[in-house]
Structures are given as C-alpha cells and as structure tokens.
Structure 1
Amino acid sequence: MSVQIGNIDLGKFPLLLAPMEDVSDPPFRYVCKQNGADMMYTEFISSEGLIRDAAKSRKKLDIFGYERPIGIQIFGSDIESMREATRIATKAEPDLMDINYGCPVKQVACRGAGASLLQDIDKMVAMTRAVVESTHLPVTVKTRLGWDDNTKNVYEVAERLQEVGIKALTIHGRTRAQMYKGEADWRLIAEIKKNPNIEIPIFGNGDIDSPEKAANWRLEYGVDGMMIGRAAIGYPWIFREIKHFFETGEHRDKPTIAERVDVCKTHLEKSIEWKGRRTGIFEMRRHYSNYFKGLDHFKEYRMQLVGTEDVEEIYDLLQTINDKYTTELA
C-alpha cells in the first residue's frame, strides 16, 4: 500500500532526504533525486527572515520541477510570524509545508524555535494550527523524542499535532539534549507508529547509514518510511543502494571512481548554475572530502580543489583524480 501525504503518493516505503542547513540546497537535492530520493525538503528557513524579505531566506525558497515532491521547511518562535511565513512560502508552490520542531543548535533552540518547542507543547500545537490554517498545502512536522531524557513527550506531540491537521510526522530518535551524539533510539518511534490513534504516516530518522540497517529497522520498527540525513552527504548513492537491497536482498556495487567524479562534477555545475560562478565554486568546497572519502592520499588533491577559483582547473583536477585512482584501484 502506498504512503500518502495529502494527495501526494510516495510509493510503498519512501526514502526522504532530510533538510540540512548548508547542505540540502538545490544542487545537492539534484544529485540525491537522481539517485533515488523519493521526497526532499529545503534547508530550514527562518520565518522572521522570510517576513523581513532577507535575501538568504528568500533564496532558500527556490525549488525546481525535477525536485518534486518537495516540501519547504520553516522554523520560528512567534506564532504570527510562522503564520505569515507560511503564506509567503506557499506562494513558492511547494508540494507541502514542513515545520521544524527538531533543530537542536543553540542559535535556534535557545531563541524559542526548533526543538525548544518540545518544552511547550501547548505553544507547539497553537503554532501548528496557525500554519495548517494558513495554507492549502499538506503540513508535516519534523521533531525529536523530547527535550531531554526526563521529557520524552513525542507520544503526546504526535496525537495532538495530528488533531490539528498535520499529514505526516518525522521523528529523529534523539532528544534535544543528545544533539547528534550517542545512538538514535527508534523504540519510541515504533511505539508511536503502533498507537491505534495515529493514522498519519510516521517516518523514522537517525543513524540510517547502510542498506542492512535500513532493511532491519524497517522490519523491526514498522515505520512508513525513513528520512536520511548525514549518510547522504557526499554519498547520494545511499538511496539507490537501500532500494536495491530492499528489492533483492543483495548489495548493489559501490560507485566507481568515475561515478564519484561524475556526480561531484554535476553537483559543481548545478551549484554554479544556481548561485553564480564565484559563490557556486566557493560553496562546493565543503563537499570534496565527502565525495572522495576513503581514498588514500587525497588530501593533496583536496587542497588544490579548494585552493582554486578556476572552474576549468577544477575539472582538470577531477579528471586527474579519476585517472589516478581508477588506475590504482583496477
């Protein structure tokens, strides 16, 4: 049976790309979509930034036809600002709106937004209702288990947010206090999925980094789909590898050096296309190490890649990397 969010059909067991700040931009989303991501989200966008018409926030509203279905994710601490930001974001014509109640970083949580709302469920419910009322689009939520080990209140959160109209819930299996440390605990996510009062899709998030783990946890925890974040950085093939394993029970071949180079080059081209030559080259620098993780003596090439602003020189370096490592690993 297909998973539905409103009128969006996501197939039998969708794999979602997590919204990650400074990562999940259109160039990165492009290579993830090419490699099997079923649904994606923008980087999270400040409601205050949208209302003030801040250039950085507005730029994050950019979405493209090839990305669909895609959600715009917003965050904020003020209910009226979230209401207005929802109206603004809806005009960008995404397929759904998503609210971030999970971001643990200080500059978000300590300003009363993101995971901070887990300390005030009544306000979270009121804010969610305001967002739902302000758009014709389906509204989804991403959150965590709770603020800390003493307040794992996501069971209540799930029921109450469903009551005010959200159409799906993604749960990261850590508390805010854990940040990204320790292991994600999926047992509570599974309990919420089993709750007979819950009718909306429940997606699990946290520590999915291999096809075996995805397959085992799919069976063990019974969620409707999985959201993948850090494991996709520099490795968009994770989506196709998991799907292949689901279908066959066998591992798909790892990407070759030529594939790594090709996808890295595509990512760079899309980055330049979207951000302009200079910014596109500059912002691509954070990705090179991830694309070529595990290659011996890669540091020298990385230093050259991040040290030039000449796109042709970067292409030449990528070709050199392709030739060198393809020969060495043959």
Structure 2
Amino acid sequence: MVRIGNIQLPEFPLLLAPMEDVSDPPFRRLCKTHGADLMFSEFISSEGLIRDAIKSRQKLDIFDYERPVGIQIFGGDEEAMAMSARIVETVNPDLVDINFGCPVKKVVCKGAGAGVLKDVGLMVRLTKAVVNSTSLPVTVKTRLGWDETSINIDEVAERLQDVGIKALTIHGRTRAQMYKGEADWSHIARVKNNPRINIPIFGNGDIDTPEKALDYKNRYGIDGIMVGRAAIGYPWIFNEIKHYFKTGTCLPAPTVEDRVEAARNHLKWAVEWKGERVGVFETRRHYANYFKGIPNFKEYRQRMVTHDAAADVYSVMDEVLEKFAGYKIA
C-alpha cells in the first residue's frame, strides 16, 4: 500500500491530475466512478481565496463520494500561501497540494506555479509556510526544472521532503517545454531511486494507454501514476489501466452508449452542482472529447453546444443513441 500521511491508497494508485477548467466535481465524480484512486481540485489562487473571490471559493467544493481528494493551491507569497492553506483546511479535504508546475504565462508571471522553479529557496519557504499552517498532509506537484539547462528536481525533492511534504508528483517536462515534446521520466526514476527519498513519488506526463502505463510502471519504478489530459472525455482510462495491470489484456473500448451515459451524467451532475445555466455552459467543452471518433458528428455536437436547456441537450443525446447504436469506435 502507498501512504500519504494518514491516507492509505492502493499498491499502485492512479491519480487524476488537477486541470484548470476540467477537474471540477462533476468530472472528478466520473473519474472516481471509473477507477481513479486520488483526485485533486482545479488549482486555486491563494490570493483569490484570501480576497474571497467567488470563483476561487467554488473550487473548494468537495464531496464525500470522491474521497480521498486534495485541494491544490498556488501562489508566490509565503503569508498568502499559509493563510490560504488554513482556509482550505476549513472544508476538510484529505490533503493540500501545492502547484509548482503550471507553465501558463499568466501564472508564471506572478511568480507562481512553474515560475517558482527559478528559485528553489522560495519554493522551500512557500512549502514550509503551508506545512506549518495546516495539520493536513501537504504534497507538491512540480516539473523537472525551468529548462533543459536548469533541471533541479533532485535538489527540489530532497529539500521539500526535508520541510515536511508527504508525497511528490513530478511532470517529466521542464517549464520551457510546456506540453510539447516527450516527457522524460528518467529524471523521475532518479528521484525515486535516491536513497534519501522516503516519500511516495508519482510520475506524470504522456500516459495515455494501459500499455504505456504498465511499461512506465515497470521501467521507472515509481509509486503511482497521475493521468491528466488522457482522461478528458475518457474517464474509462483508469479502469482500463487497472484491468491491463491485472490481466495483460485490454478492456473493450467504451461504446456509443457508454459515451452518452458519461456525457449525460456529466451534464446532470454539473447542473446539480452549479445550476442549469452554468452547468449547461461549462459542460459544453467536453462533448467533442466524449464523442471523438464518431463520423459525421459535427451536427450533433453543434446542437449540444448551442442549446441552453439541459432537456434539449439530453434530447440530442437520445438522437445520438438512436443514430449510432452499435457503432464501434476504433
């Protein structure tokens, strides 16, 4: 078993990555239903929490059925990070995660996310401030370094462990790479094999098939895998990976019926969470992914993303079921 503080996870847990505008409660619920072992909120600005920004506060919503679940925060000021961790603790998540990996310019320019990779001392101080301000386990998600000439993940892992983090997730790219090129997991394996490291090390980057998940598990010896973009519109990937680990065989691909059920549940749970207007609007971005690979689908997708009433979207989904019943998606 893998332990993060007092949280007990399966022997090789599969984690859902915290993704902006994706990893909200309806999406997390789908991924939990389909086998995710540990999930995280979208990242939340420490400054936004302190200012009582509505959008930041809504990201604190967690539900018992998705546990264990962590709330991820980011920022570049020690006092703000400490205060936001105390705010996070009031909603009783299972852990607090710190984002030192987001490469997006608007975050980096504020000296947060991957921007902190340029200053390991600041990263340590920010982490220590959070650890000292909460009784919850604190974890970190980060990247290899700022660019190829400044890969510092070995030092980062040791120093963050020394100030009290309970697990570390490493995305196998530098900030300069953004999401381009191939993630280099050899650096992640080196951290895992460091005799000084005794916390769980999770790998992230490019895991999009069960075969690759098993290959990376065996090749790099990490404690678990975090799945991000591959789960968008495809929450089945978690159970597919678990099945492949156990049997060496692949589960059948989700049918059109499975995809409609997932999209319908996503919309239903989004409406229950945020109300019909916002729930319908925020689910629109997911339909292209749920129905990827179905030919001549543009008309149906266009109607799904233009209807304002959930009932009308459900009606289009019923048409999809009828039109594409039995269609095999490659």
What one-letter code is carried by the residue in structure 2 that aligns with 1:220?
R
Which residue does 2:128 correspond to in 1? 129
Match of 2:232 in 1: 233
Q: Closer, same or farther in 2 for the Cα pair 1:272/1:149, shift >3 Å?
A: same
Q: Which residue of 1 aligns with 2:81?
A: 82
Question: Structure 1 residue 164: deviation in Å?
Answer: 0.2
Shift of 1:310: 1.9
Which amino acid is the alignment partner of residue 124 of structure 2? V
Give runs of aligned pairs for residues 1-330 of structure 1, distance below 5 A: 2-329=1-328
Alpha carbons 2:114, 2:175 under 8 Å: kept: yes
Deviation, structure 1 residue 223: 0.3
In structure 1, C-alpha distance between the alignment counterparts of 2:144 and 2:212, rounded to whole Å: 20
TM-score normalised by structure 1 residue count: 0.99
SS of corresponding position for 1:73:
strand
Deviation at 1:307, TM superposition (A): 1.2
Counterpart-to-counterpart distance in 1, 2:104 and 2:251: 36
Per-residue CA deviations over 1:167-224 (Å, capped at 9, x if unaligned) read 0000000000000000100000000000000000000000000000000010000000
Does the CA-based 8 Å contact 2:256-2:327 persist in structure 1?
Answer: no
Report the RMSD for the aligned CA atoms in angstroms: 0.9
Q: Which amino acid aligns with 1:40?
A: M
SS in 2 for 1:239: helix
Cα deviation for residue 327 of structure 1 reads 4.5
- Matched residue of 1:294: which SS? coil
Q: Which deviates more, 264-273 or 319-328? A: 319-328
1:12-51 residue CA offsets vs partner (Å, 9 max, x unmatched): 0000000000000000000000000000000000000000
Verify the 8 A CA contact 2:256 2:326 in the aligned structure 1: no
- Aligned amino acid, residue 58 of structure 2: K
Q: Letter of the aligned partner of 2:298 in structure 1?
A: K
TM-score by length of 2: 0.99
CA distance in 1, matches of 2:306, 2:105: 32
Q: Match of 2:42, SS?
A: coil
Number of residue pairs aligned between Structure 1 and Structure 2? 329
Identity of aligned residues (%): 63
CA distance 1:180–1:317, change in 2 (3 Å): same
Cα deviation code 1:100-143 (max 9, x no counterpart): 00000000011100001110001110110010000000000000
Query: CA–CA distance in 2 between the matches of 1:201 and 1:327?
Result: 43
Kept in 1: contact 2:143–2:174 (CA 8 A)? yes
Task: After superposition, give the CA deviation of every residue in 1:142-181 in whole Å (9 maximum; x if it has no partner).
Answer: 0000000000001000000000000000000000000000
CA spacing shift, 1:98–1:283, aligned 2, 3 Å = same
SS at match of 1:100: strand
User: Unmatched 5+ residue regions in structure 1?
Assistant: none
Paired with 1:199 and 1:245, the residues of 2 have a C-alpha distance of 28
Code of the residue aligned with 2:78 in structure 1: it is I
Q: What CA distance in whole angstroms lies between the structure 1 residues aligned with 2:191 and 2:317?
A: 46
Moved over 4 A (4+): 327-330
One-letter amino acid matched to 1:12: E
CA distance in 1, matches of 2:235, 2:297: 20
